[in-house]
Amino acid sequence: MRCTSRIKEHLASYRHAIRGIVMAFRYEHSMTFHFAAAAAVVVVNSLLKVNQTEWLITLMLIGLAWTAEVFNTAIEKLADRISKEQDPLIGQAKDLASAAVLIICLFSVLCAIIIYFPYLSKKI
């Protein structure tokens, strides 16, 4: 395969991925909540002047939460394609996908408490 067509294919896959991100924000209402939470984290990090490691941890958690939500949406769409009828296995698959999002959100809250508590207790 010629180099230029490989580059074109590679660029096309970025286009598909960006379309996926736009779709996730348009059709998955939880993405708006994740976006608002991420914006709040950036504001709080800046106000409290957290250190570089704390910035890295919080940004990675934001990325993980968004990734889990996008996978959750993809699994929901695939499940709906297979059957719209009530099906216990589809129900379990959707519950498991939602569980992944909840787990990362709970751990993010825990990490936020551990990171922010020392800064806030100094201010009080």
Return the active site residues: 69
Q: Does 105 engage in binding with ligand ATP (CB under 6 A)?
A: no
Least distance between ligand ATP and beta carbon 110 (Å): 21
Q: Which residue is nearest to ligand ATP, using beta carbons?
A: 91
Tell me which residues in 4-63 interact with ligand ATP (CB under 6 A).
30
Binding mask of the shown chain, residues 74 to 103, with x at each position contacting ligand ATP by CB under 6 A: --x------x--xx--xx--xx--x-----
User: What is the SS3 string spanning the chain?
Assistant: CCHHHHHHHHHHHHHHHHHHHHHHHHHCHHHHHHHHHHHHHHHHHHHHCCCHHHHHHHHHHHHHHHHHHHHHHHHHHHHHHHCCCCCHHHHHHHHHHHHHHHHHHHHHHHHHHHHHHHHHHHHC
Cβ 82 to ligand ATP shortest distance, Å: 8
Which residues of the chain form contacts with ligand ATP (CB under 6 A)? 30, 72, 76, 83, 86-87, 90-91, 94-95, 98
